[in-house]
């Protein structure tokens, strides 16, 4: 009996040690995964720091990257948030791996952010928009950089998909594309005008409905001929037709006016609109050596993947909605495809910094081939004390 009891205690001790090792391994893995989302962490945490008046320190910024630390795009966003709330920023320089941010009071008016590169203006918009919603007066954001950049939403996606969906939180904004800018020089300019709100309403995007329209634009600018835009459009239509045969598809080939574009660029965005007002998209950018047919097919395949999972929002919109769900008053529910790492990161830091509570559950679909999830959030109910 004594040997058995001792063996039992040793077995329990071994089990507890194994659990501790697993937790440490999971924590390290999660830390590595989050470190790859350095820009996402900065956008969510600094916006919430500004809104909640919470001092913030972020360390090991983009530690897992070949070029660790702040890039021009990240620094521009941080400086804009600092200025719009008259806060203080320490460590604000290119390559810095640690910043300390102390927010002040959010104010309206005109605010400028210029990456001086092809860094995405859409990502600048992501960090600033939640803040100016809770300002004391209307705001105008002058954002300069890349309008159609890799690893970020294209400005066309922001206008055609993000804008109509995010306005369901009960606010509106105007997005004026003054000039488009492409890799590597950027030079694009977008002006965003917004008025503050008292509070945000929750949203419910769980009924996808049926696809009623498919439309989009294939564009070229600079030295590229319109034929490339036509080739992208035709290839995309052929690809979609293999899956969806009974719907009119209208993808317009466009050549951007020379006085409204800086540099040479090309790309395509395709949007599917449903009977319940959902918008899902696929997009792709052209680059040197990349066949124009391949660009069109790539965008079409992304759209078809987004339609196949059965969600009411696409992969690119998931993470962009998280901060608004966290700030809204009441319960928001969104049906999406598989949860992206960007979305997991946004949820983690939104929960850390607010009183919002998120749950993610597998959607109980009649069709087992669907891979959809319900993201539910009990929002913190942020109130604009200025109004």
Catalytic amino acids? Answer: 342
Residue 104: helix, strand or coil by DSSP? coil
The answer to whether the beta carbons of residues 356 and 328 sit under 8 Å apart is no
| Residue 73 assigned to a binding site | no
The secondary structure of residue 257, as a DSSP letter, is -
**Beta-strand pair 265-274/211-221:** antiparallel
Could you tell me the sign of the dihedral formed by the alpha carbons of 163, 152, 133, 278, in that order?
positive
**What is the Rg, in whole angstroms, of the alpha carbon atoms belonging to the chain?**
23
Tokens of 365: 């679909």
User: Are β-strands 265-274 and 139-145 bridged in parallel, bridged antiparallel, or unpaired?
Assistant: unpaired
Crossing angle of the two packed helices 226-241 and 292-308, in degrees rounded to 10: 40
Contact 244, 211 (CB under 8 A): yes
Q: How far apart are CA 371 and CA 366, in angstroms?
A: 11
What are the tokens at 142?
């002058």
Distance CA 73, CA 66 (A): 16
Please count the other Cβ atoms lying within 10 Å of the Cβ belonging to residue 363: 16
Helix, strand, coil: what percent of the chain each, to 5?
40, 25, 35
Contact 181, 263 (CB under 8 A): yes
Residue 243 in 3-state DSSP? coil
Known binding-site residue numbers for ATP:
126
């Amino acid at each position: 009996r004594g040997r058995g009891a001792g063996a039992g205690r040793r077995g329990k001790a071994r089990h507890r040690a194994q659990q501790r090792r697993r937790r440490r391994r999971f924590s390290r893995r999660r830390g590595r995964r989050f470190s790859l989302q350095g820009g996402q962490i900065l956008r969510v945490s600094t916006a919430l720091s500004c809104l909640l008046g919470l001092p913030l320190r972020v360390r090991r910024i983009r530690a897992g990257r070949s070029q660790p630390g702040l890039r021009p795009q990240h620094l521009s966003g941080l400086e804009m948030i600092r200025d719009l709330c008259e806060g203080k920023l320490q460590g604000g320089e290119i390559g810095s791996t640690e910043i300390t941010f102390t927010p002040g009071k959010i104010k309206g008016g005109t605010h400028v952010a210029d990456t001086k590169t092809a860094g995405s203006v859409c990502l600048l918009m992501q960090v600033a928009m939640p803040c100016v919603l809770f300002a004391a007066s209307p705001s105008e954001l002058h954002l300069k950089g890349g309008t159609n950049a890799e690893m970020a939403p294209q400005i066309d996606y922001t206008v055609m998909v993000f804008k109509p969906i995010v306005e369901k939180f009960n606010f509106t904004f105007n997005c004026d594309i003054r000039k488009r800018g492409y890799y590597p020089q950027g030079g694009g300019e977008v002006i965003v005008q917004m008025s503050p709100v008292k509070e945000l309403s929750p949203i419910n995007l769980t009924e996808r409905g049926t696809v009623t329209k498919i439309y989009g634009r294939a564009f070229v600018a600079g030295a590229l001929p319109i034929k490339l835009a036509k080739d992208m459009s035709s290839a995309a239509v052929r690809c979609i037709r293999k899956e969806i045969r009974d719907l009119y598809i209208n993808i317009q080939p466009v050549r951007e006016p020379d006085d409204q574009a800086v540099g040479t660029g090309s790309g395509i965005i395709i949007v599917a609109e449903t009977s319940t007002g959902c918008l899902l998209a696929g997009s792709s950018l052209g680059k040197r050596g990349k066949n124009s047919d391949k660009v069109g097919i790539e965008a079409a395949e992304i759209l078809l993947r987004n339609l196949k999972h059965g969600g009411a929002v696409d992969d690119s919109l998931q993470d962009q909605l998280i901060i608004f769900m966290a700030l809204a008053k009441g319960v928001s529910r969104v049906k999406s495809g598989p949860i992206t790492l960007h979305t997991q990161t946004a949820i983690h830091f939104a929960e850390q910094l607010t009183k919002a509570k998120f749950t993610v559950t597998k959607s109980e679909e009649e069709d087992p081939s669907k891979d959809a999830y319900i993201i539910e959030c009990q929002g913190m109910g942020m109130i604009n004390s200025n109004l």
